[in-house]
């Protein structure tokens, strides 16, 4: 899973245009909250945001040939998402995760051997290549078993585009090998501060300050940029030319839950790459979207009205720079 030459994304391109489509790979499942289940998984959550903002994402995943799988596919169709990348598994069940909410913290319990662990490599490679993507998104959870791990490798080898890694570490489903292979393949990486600490400890560089560790990852793995989210405090990023940007905010007065906040950040970061926003604009918009998600139940809003303020503001701001 080595880094490949990437295609430049020019300012003004829309993802719906030929050759400028985001492709997202990984787990699709049911988020089992204490008060009910909703379709989720990081790739689906990110894709849902991107579709709401006018992009045409393709999600590559696998669900069981069962009732929950039909529910997930139906939810995707309702959100305007292309379902052509979803494989049906006749043996393994649709993924699920039990989510426990404790204050501002979330705890996730993923059973083993779910459909998303068995994404078929050849089909995934063919679909991704045909999409001619501008951005390819993936994480570590869908690499916990060999079939989907091979599918990630095959798909990355088939595309020439910006490689966006959202580490999304979920213990115990990651190891040093998976992390290093993914970093080598990535161009842009998004981590939480806790994930940066975890990776730094695994790589034995945790004695350094956080920004030095981030810069070290950028240099070692030839990244374009590395984004670090810092919970309710905001986020910051470092780039391959040594620049540092940050957006700091005050904690919200009230939070419903923080499930999906990181996925909202990833969606805004991908939009920023596709539309050539400046780093400071991208961070500001990512923080704003994540804070809004923290004020609803679950990772994705039930109504398109949620996005209207962002569509108005982002369109107004980007008109002045010609990004739309």
- The pairing of beta strand 188-192 with beta strand 225-229: parallel
3-state secondary structure of 86: strand
Query: Residues 128, 166, 255, CA angle at the centre, nearest 5°?
Result: 125
Beta strands in the chain (DSSP E): 21-25, 29-33, 36-40, 58-64, 86-89, 95-102, 105-109, 133-138, 162-166, 188-192, 225-229, 234-239, 244-248
The predicted pLDDT at position 5 comes to: 56
d(CA 42, CA 269): 14
HSE, side-chain direction, 13 A CA sphere, residue 301 = 18
Q: Which pair of tokens denotes residue 277?
A: 């926003």
d(CA 65, CA 96): 14
pLDDT per residue of the chain (324 residues) written in tens, 0 to 9: 766 555 455 444 444 444 479 999 999 998 777 667 788 899 999 999 999 999 999 999 999 999 999 999 999 999 999 999 999 999 999 998 777 766 656 677 778 899 999 999 999 999 999 999 999 999 999 999 999 999 999 999 999 999 999 999 998 999 999 999 999 999 999 999 999 999 999 999 989 999 999 999 999 999 999 999 998 899 999 999 999 999 998 888 888 888 889 999 999 999 999 999 999 999 999 999 999 999 988 788 878 899 999 998 886 444 433 333
User: By the 8 A CB rule, do 41 and 223 touch?
Assistant: no
Start-to-end C-alpha separation, the chain: 34
The predicted pLDDT at position 30 comes to: 84
The predicted pLDDT at position 300 comes to: 81
d(CA 3, CA 187): 8
The predicted pLDDT at position 322 comes to: 33
The predicted pLDDT at position 39 comes to: 87
Residue with tokens 């990081």: 42
Helix H, strand E, coil C: the string for 143-203 is HCCHHHHHHHHHHHHHCCCEEEEECCCCCCCCCHHHHHHHHHHCCEEEEEHHHHHHHHHHC
The predicted pLDDT at position 315 comes to: 66
Q: Which domains are seen in the chain, by residue range? A: 21-308 (3.40.1190.20)
Spatial neighbors of 234 by CB under 8 A, at least 6 apart, are 246, 247, 248, 249, 283, 287
Helices 279-293 and 261-275, packing angle to 10 deg? 150
Of 120, 124, 112, 122, which Cα lies nearest the Cα of 60? 124
pTM of the model: 0.90
User: By the 8 A CB rule, do 7 and 160 touch?
Assistant: yes
């Amino acid at each position: 899973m080595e880094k490949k030459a990437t295609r430049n994304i020019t300012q003004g391109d829309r993802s719906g245009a030929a050759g400028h489509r985001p492709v997202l790979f990984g787990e699709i499942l049911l988020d089992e909250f204490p008060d009910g289940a909703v379709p989720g998984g990081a790739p689906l959550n990110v894709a849902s945001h991107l579709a709401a903002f006018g992009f045409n994402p393709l999600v590559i995943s696998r669900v069981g040939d069962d009732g929950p799988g039909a529910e997930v596919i139906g939810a995707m169709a309702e959100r305007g998402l292309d379902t052509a990348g979803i494989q049906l598994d006749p043996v393994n069940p649709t993924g699920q995760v039990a989510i426990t909410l404790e204050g501002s913290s979330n705890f996730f319990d993923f059973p083993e051997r779910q459909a998303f662990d068995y994404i078929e490599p050849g089909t995934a490679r063919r679909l991704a290549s045909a999409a001619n993507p501008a951005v390819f998104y993936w994480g570590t959870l869908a690499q916990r078993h060999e079939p989907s791990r091979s599918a990630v490798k095959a798909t990355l080898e088939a595309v020439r585009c910006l490689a966006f890694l959202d580490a999304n570490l979920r213990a115990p489903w990651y190891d040093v090998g998976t992390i290093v292979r993914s970093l080598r393949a990535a161009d842009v990486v998004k981590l939480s501060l806790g994930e940066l600490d975890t990776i730094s400890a695994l790589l034995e560089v945790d004695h350094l300050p956080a920004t030095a560790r981030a810069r070290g990852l950028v240099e070692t793995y030839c990244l374009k940029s590395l984004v670090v989210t810092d919970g309710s405090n905001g986020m910051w990023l470092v780039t391959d030319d040594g620049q540092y940007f940050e957006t700091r905010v005050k904690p919200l007065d009230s939070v419903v839950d923080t499930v999906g906040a990181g996925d909202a950040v990833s969606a805004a970061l991908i939009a920023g790459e596709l539309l050539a926003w400046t780093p400071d604009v991208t961070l500001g918009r990512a923080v704003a979207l994540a804070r809004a998600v923290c004020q609803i139940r679950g990772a994705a809003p039930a109504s398109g009205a949620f996005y209207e303020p962002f569509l108005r503001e982002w369109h107004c701001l980007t008109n002045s720079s010609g990004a739309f």
